């Protein structure tokens, strides 16, 4: 990329997420209320925790606190998914991770389009969780054919955005004016359309098959279904949402509150019922429930061993609860989760020594270095370590988010197995394995410490 001719993809992504946020706030005013609430909770948390405030100020994170961390869309066909892949590439976002949602009896599989380089994540962390409908899971063959037909007839990209994507691909970037036009044109794909493209009867049939199928098939495009800012205190944000009658989902997804946060904790206000009209003018107005607002709090990325321990403890907690988390058992669930997770070491030193989490290493004091191996250098205080933030998603949590926003009670039992190969064929590319990225970031940081201390890397 030629930085003189072209706008940096990180800048295009930042512009896009700002515009998308403004559009969504306008479309879903309750989301604006959520942003206000989060800003307040974050300010209070920073006031109460001066060390955290300092740390965020030093890392430059403070100004970015209020920018959205992620959003989500759902597409219907391989062509649409490929189009999204090309569109996101303009903004430096690439498919990372494969998520099988069949565990929640939700007929989709997904990836996250996100920046990969640490510098890009720092510049703007925005990612989009992108699900592909699995039409083959619609049992009713006639309905499946109808859905197929509807998806084939729609075109979710404007001619303008397609032309600019092509220009980006041919020339290696977009100049300032084109990048700005790209952002405006791309927004159209994510916009809400309150007029369904189907008759009231067709809508009902699709909805009966699965609420999600109606959401994907019955509209002109893959409207953004939620955006997610970062909160510094998700437990507090959750109780504030409750206190303000914002109808939050019953439990916070993910691990319990800990001294050293791991992975990702999420909650949301539940999807709103919105008025829609139908193509045949029948029933004048109907209702559709799909769009919500979410918040997230991230912790350290876990190694495969750490992730296995997390999965084990999470299912142990769910087994102990004996039912899907609900309004009735939410307090029990929180209690059980906390108890079960006492088995997971809760200090960075143990997490690191037991190779449960990923870290980045930095030279703290070169003068103290006397030796060649990393552990010695750490003991001497020459090298320090910081937790590497988890940048991805969690399938069980995503399933919980889907379920509470699809209005249904939690279903158990897999629909069918996930199929990564099939997803990658539809995407027209393979998805990057997230663990590989964390492992690389960690080993690169070790190498650069050793280089800075003039220690040959093969001796460590």
| Site of interaction with Ni ion (CB under 5 A) | 72, 228, 294
User: Using CA atoms, how far apart are residues 421 and 41, in angstroms rounded to an integer?
Assistant: 42
Nearer to ligand OOG, 401 or 450 (CB): 401
Q: Is 124 in the site for ligand OOG (CB under 6 A)?
A: no
Q: How far is the CB of 187 from ligand OOG (least distance, A)?
A: 18
Stretch that binds ligand OOG, among 43-51, 378-386, 400-408, 413-421 (CB under 6 A): 400-408
Q: Is 397 in the site for ligand OOG (CB under 6 A)?
A: yes
278 binds, among ligand OOG, Ni ion, none (CB under 5 to 8 A by kind): none
Q: Which residues contact 364 (CB under 8 A, 6 or more apart)?
A: 381, 382, 383, 384
Q: Which of 6, 393, 423, 438 binds ligand OOG (CB under 6 A)?
A: 393
Nearer to Ni ion, 72 or 301 (CB): 72
397 binds, among Ni ion, ligand OOG, none (CB under 5 to 8 A by kind): ligand OOG
Where does residue 122 rank: exposed (0-12), middle (13-18), buried (19+ CB within 10 A)?
middle
Q: Is 238 in the site for ligand OOG (CB under 6 A)?
A: no
Please give, one letter per residue, the 3-state secondary structure of the chain.
Answer: CCCCCCCCHHHHHHHHHHHHHHHHHHHCHHHHHHHHHHHHHHHHHHHHCHHHHHHHHHCCCHHHCCCCCEEEEEECCHHHHHHHHHHHHHCCCEEEEEEEHHHHCCCEEEEEEECCCHHHHHHCCCEEEEEEECHHHCCCHHHHHHHHHHHHHCCCCCHHHHHHHHHHHHHCCCCHHHHHHHHHHHHHHHCCCCECCCCHHHHHHHHHHCHHHHHHHCCCCCCCCEEECECCCHHHHHHHHHHCCCCECCCCECCCCCCCCECEEEEEECCCEEEEECCCCCCCCEEEECCCEEEEEECECECHHHHHHHHHHHHHHHHHHCCCCCCCCHHHHHHHHHHHHHHCCCCHHHHHHCCCECEEEEECCHHHCCCCCHHHHHHCCCEEEEECECCCCCHHHHHHHHHHHCCCCCCCCCCCCCCHHHHHHHHCCCCECHHHHHHHHHHHHHHHHHHHCCCCHHHC
User: Using CA atoms, how far apart are residues 130 and 75, in angstroms rounded to an integer?
Assistant: 7
Q: How far is the CB of 111 from ligand OOG (least distance, A)?
A: 11
Q: How far is the CB of 398 from Ni ion (least distance, A)?
A: 7
Q: Which of 402, 403, 404, 418 binds ligand OOG (CB under 6 A)?
A: 402
Nearer to ligand OOG, 397 or 445 (CB): 397
Structure tokens at 116: 């990969």
Q: Parallel, antiparallel, or unpaired for β 127-133 and 108-114?
A: antiparallel
Count of residues binding ligand OOG (CB under 6 A)? Answer: 13
Subset of residues 166 to 205 that bind ligand OOG, contact rule: CB under 6 A: none
Q: Which of 189, 225, 231, 403 binds ligand OOG (CB under 6 A)?
A: 225
Q: Which of 102, 266, 303, 360 binds ligand OOG (CB under 6 A)?
A: 266
Nearest to 329 by CA among 341, 339, 318: 318
Q: Is 131 in the site for ligand OOG (CB under 6 A)?
A: yes
Nearer to ligand OOG, 10 or 294 (CB): 294
Whose CB is nearest to ligand OOG? 398
Q: How far is the CB of 149 from ligand OOG (least distance, A)?
A: 23
Nearer to Ni ion, 110 or 378 (CB): 110
Nearer to Ni ion, 103 or 378 (CB): 103
**C-beta of residue 388 within 8 angstroms of C-beta of residue 300:** yes
* Residues 437-456, mask of contacts with ligand OOG (x by CB under 6 A): --------------------
Q: How far is the CB of 331 from ligand OOG (least distance, A)?
A: 23
Q: How far is the CB of 8 from Ni ion (least distance, A)?
A: 26
Nearer to Ni ion, 189 or 228 (CB): 228
Nearer to ligand OOG, 72 or 156 (CB): 72
* Residues 274-313, mask of contacts with ligand OOG (x by CB under 6 A): --------------------x-------------------
Nearer to ligand OOG, 185 or 392 (CB): 392
74 binds, among ligand OOG, Ni ion, none (CB under 5 to 8 A by kind): ligand OOG
Q: Is 98 in the site for ligand OOG (CB under 6 A)?
A: no
Q: Residues interacting with ligand OOG, by CB under 6 A?
A: 72, 74, 129, 131, 225, 266, 294, 393, 397-398, 401-402, 405
């Amino acid at each position: 990329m030629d930085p003189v001719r072209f706008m940096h993809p990180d800048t295009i992504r930042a512009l896009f997420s700002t515009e998308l946020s403004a559009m969504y706030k306008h479309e879903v005013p309750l989301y604006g209320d959520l942003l206000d609430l989060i800003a307040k909770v974050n300010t209070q948390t920073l006031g109460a925790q001066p060390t955290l405030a300092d740390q965020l100020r030093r890392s430059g994170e403070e100004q970015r606190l209020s920018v959205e961390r992620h959003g989500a869309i759902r597409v219907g066909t391989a062509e649409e998914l490929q189009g999204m892949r090309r569109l996101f590439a303009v903004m430096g976002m690439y498919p990372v991770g494969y998520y099988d949602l069949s565990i929640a009896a939700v007929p989709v599989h997904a990836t996250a389009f996100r920046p990969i380089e640490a510098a890009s994540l720092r510049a703007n962390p925005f990612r989009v969780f992108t699900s592909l409908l699995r039409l083959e899971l619609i049992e009713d063959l006639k309905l499946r054919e109808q859905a197929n037909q509807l998806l084939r007839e729609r075109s979710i990209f404007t001619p303008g955005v397609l032309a600019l994507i092509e220009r980006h691909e041919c020339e290696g970037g977009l100049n300032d004016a084109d990048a700005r036009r790209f952002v405006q044109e791309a927004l159209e794909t994510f916009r809400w359309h309150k007029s369904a493209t189907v008759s009231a009867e067709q809508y009902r049939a699709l909805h009966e098959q699965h609420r999600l199928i109606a959401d994907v098939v019955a509209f002109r495009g893959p409207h953004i279904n939620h955006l997610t800012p970062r909160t510094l205190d998700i437990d507090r944000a959750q109780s504030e949402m409750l206190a303000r009658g914002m109808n939050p989902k019953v439990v916070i997804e993910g691990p319990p509150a800990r001294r050293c946060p791991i992975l990702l904790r999420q909650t949301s206000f539940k999807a709103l019922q919105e008025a829609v009209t139908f193509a045949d003018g029948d029933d004048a107005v109907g209702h559709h429930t799909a769009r919500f607002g979410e918040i997230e709090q991230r912790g350290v990325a876990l190694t495969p061993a750490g992730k296995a321990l997390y999965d084990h403890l999470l299912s142990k907690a769910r087994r102990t609860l004996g039912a899907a988390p609900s309004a009735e058992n939410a307090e029990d669930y929180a209690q059980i989760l906390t108890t079960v997770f006492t088995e997971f070491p809760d200090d960075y030193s143990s997490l690191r020594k037991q190779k449960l989490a990923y870290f980045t290493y930095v030279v703290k004091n070169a003068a103290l270095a006397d030796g060649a191996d990393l552990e010695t250098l750490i003991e001497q205080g020459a090298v320090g370590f910081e937790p590497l933030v988890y940048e991805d998603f969690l399938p069980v949590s995503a399933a919980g988010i889907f379920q509470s926003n699809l209005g249904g009670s939690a279903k158990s039992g897999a629909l069918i197995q996930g199929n990564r190969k099939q997803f990658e064929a539809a995407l027209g590319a393979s998805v990057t394995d997230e663990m590989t990225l964390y492992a690389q970031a960690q080993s690169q940081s070790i190498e650069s410490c050793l280089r800075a201390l003039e220690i040959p890397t093969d001796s460590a």
